[in-house]
């Protein structure tokens, strides 16, 4: 796949002090550069785009590592999010980042390497705990890797830390940095997958399902542990056949014995996102289903519809392989029981389940 070119770099005050800023400027051959104060943003109207051709280099002042925000009533995985940047060059119709109109452009936190010592202290201070840490919540982990070099920097940092793993989540096939990196020891590379119909209509700028899975195959052959995330699962015409096609491609290319986990999560969105999706993606039909407000305030499919999707995929995945670490993202105990046939009962139970998967794949 080809990422849209960076036409402009905005350097916020203080970013010039960090080595990553100069490294990025060299990699991009110094396109148009503007230096500004951090409180200056372009004013845009309600119909603005996400300014995906501008790279903003920022000395981030917030916390680099935070727990994944869970919600009462839903079982969370106990994941930790490592904030390396924000926004994405892809343009998926359902993306929550569209709601952050006050923070346009692709954002890279150039003081990451300085903060790694602090993160390392947190990890090393709790040897009894397993830290599952990922970068793919507010930005695609690999879409900007050719510019930022994140995969090599972070893989080097996690090497030798026996109580932590790094998960790099992506919708891309941009694995050049991974394949050239000497570090494999504590790294999981995972792909967000969907049906070919949803990928072609809703995940604008992303490579096909087959290209992603073939990239996963290459990483698997190079010694990486891999994972998959079917999230958001979207009901559409012939959705069962569509997701079966994706599973057939996985069967063709992937060794299931080297999959650490597969997550399932149905489409959910904050109410304000609905009008934004309608305006930015008028051709979409993902909002045409039957949705109700969930316990977290997000709009969700009716419970029986979600259970039907999970039950179907569980059955099909288990026909392929019996031990893939299958789990649900942000669902209730009842949906777990009816959709997967078992439940971890609570967030602590799911965290323990996933920690055991880490021990199985990295400590043998």
Residue 213: CB atoms within 10 Å: 22
Report the domain count for the chain.
1
The closest of 62, 138, 60 to 99, measured between CA atoms, is 138
Is residue 26 assigned to a domain? yes
Is residue 235 assigned to a domain? yes
Q: What is the pLDDT of residue 45?
A: 44
pLDDT at 220 over 50: yes
Q: What is the pLDDT of residue 31?
A: 67
Is residue 97 assigned to a domain? yes
Q: What is the pLDDT of residue 30?
A: 66
The closest of 268, 249, 258 to 323, measured between CA atoms, is 258
**For the chain, how big is the Rg over CA atoms in Å?**
20
Range of the structural domain that residue 247 is part of: 8-362
- The CA distance from 84 to 119, in Å, is 12
Is residue 1 assigned to a domain? no
Q: What is the pLDDT of residue 175?
A: 98
Query: Higher confidence at residue 4 or residue 115?
Result: 115
Report the range of poorest mean pLDDT among 89-103, 116-130, 264-278, 302-316.
89-103
How far apart, in Å, are the Cα atoms of 133 and each of 30, 151, 159?
Answer: 32, 13, 13
Tracing tokens 């407000």 back to the chain, one arrives at 293
Domain with residue 109: its CATH number is: 3.80.30.30
Secondary structure class of 3 (helix, strand, coil): coil
Tracing tokens 């942000």 back to the chain, one arrives at 330
Q: With helix as H, strand as E and coil as C, how does the chain read?
A: CCCCCCCEEEEECCHHHCHHHHHHHHHCCCCEEEEECCCCCCCCCCCCCCCCCEEEEECCCCCCEEECCCCCCCECCCCEEECCEECCCCEECCCHHHHCCCCCCEEEECCHHHHHHHHHHHHHCCCCCCEEEECCCCCCCCCCHHHHCHHHHHHHHHCCCCCEEEEEEECCCCCHHHHHCCCCCCEEEEEECCCHHHHHHHEECCCCHHHHHHHHHHHHHCCCEEEEEEEEECCCCCHHHHHHHHHHHHHHHCCHHHEEEEEEEECEECCCHHHHHHHHCCCCCHHHCCEEECCCCCEEECHHHHHHHHHHHHHHHHHHCCCCCEEECCECHHHHHHHHCCCCCCHHHHHHHHHHHHHHHHCC
Over residues 154-165, mean pLDDT: 95
Q: Is 0.85 topped by the overall pTM? A: yes
Over residues 192-204, mean pLDDT: 98
pLDDT tens string 19-62: 999 999 999 876 688 877 665 554 444 445 678 999 999 999 99
- The CA distance from 182 to 167, in Å, is 16
Treating both helix axes as pointing N-terminal to C-terminal, what angle do 303-320 and 239-253 enclose, rounded to 10 degrees? 30
**Residue 342 contacts residue 311 (beta carbons within 8 Å):** no
**Residue 71 contacts residue 331 (beta carbons within 8 Å):** no
Q: How much of the chain, in percent, has pLDDT values that exceed 70?
A: 95
Q: What is the pLDDT of residue 47?
A: 43
Is residue 2 assigned to a domain? no
**What number of CA atoms fall less than 13 Å from residue 297's CA on the CB side?**
6
Is residue 358 assigned to a domain? yes
- The CA distance from 150 to 5, in Å, is 19
Q: What is the pLDDT of residue 32?
A: 81
Q: What's the mean pLDDT when you consider all of the chain?
A: 93
pLDDT at 286 over 90: yes
- The CA distance from 133 to 72, in Å, is 22
| Two tokens, residue 228 | 């998959």
Q: What is the pLDDT of residue 102?
A: 67
Peptide bond into 280 cis (omega under 30): no
């Amino acid at each position: 796949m080809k990422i849209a070119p960076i036409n402009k770099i905005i350097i916020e005050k203080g970013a010039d002090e960090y080595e990553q800023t100069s490294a990025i400027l060299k990699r991009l051959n110094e396109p148009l550069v503007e230096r500004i104060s951090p409180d200056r943003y372009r004013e845009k109207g309600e119909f603005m785009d996400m300014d995906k051709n501008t790279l903003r280099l920022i000395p981030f002042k917030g916390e680099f590592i935070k727990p994944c925000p869970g919600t009462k009533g839903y079982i969370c995985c106990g994941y930790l999010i490592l904030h390396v940047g924000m926004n994405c060059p892809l343009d998926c119709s359902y993306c929550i980042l569209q709601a952050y109109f006050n923070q346009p452009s692709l954002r890279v936190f150039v003081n990451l390497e300085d903060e790694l010592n602090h993160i390392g202290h947190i990890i090393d201070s709790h040897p009894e705990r397993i830290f599952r840490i990922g970068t793919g919540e507010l930005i695609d982990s690999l879409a900007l890797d050719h510019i930022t070099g994140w995969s090599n920097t972070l893989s080097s940092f996690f090497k030798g830390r026996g109580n932590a793993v790094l998960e790099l989540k992506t919708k891309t096939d941009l694995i050049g940095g991974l394949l050239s990196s000497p570090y494999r020891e504590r790294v999981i590379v995972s792909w967000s997958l969907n049906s070919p119909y949803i990928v072609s209509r809703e995940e604008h700028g992303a490579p096909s399902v087959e290209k992603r899975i073939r990239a996963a195959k290459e990483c698997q052959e190079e010694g990486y542990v891999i994972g998959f995330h079917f999230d958001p699962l979207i009901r559409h015409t012939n959705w069962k056949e569509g997701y079966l096609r994706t599973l057939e491609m996985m069967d063709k290319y992937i060794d299931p014995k080297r999959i650490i986990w597969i997550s399932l999560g149905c489409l959910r969105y904050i109410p304000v996102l609905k009008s934004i999706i309608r305006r930015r993606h008028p051709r979409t039909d993902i909002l045409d289903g039957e949705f109700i407000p969930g316990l977290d305030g997000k709009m969700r499919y009716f419970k029986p519809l979600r259970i039907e999707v999970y039950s179907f995929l569980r059955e099909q995945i288990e026909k392929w392989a019996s031990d893939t670490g299958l789990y649900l993202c942000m669902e209730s105990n009842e949906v777990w029981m009816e959709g997967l046939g078992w439940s971890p009962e609570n967030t602590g139970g799911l965290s323990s389940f996933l920690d055991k998967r880490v021990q199985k794949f990295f400590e043998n």
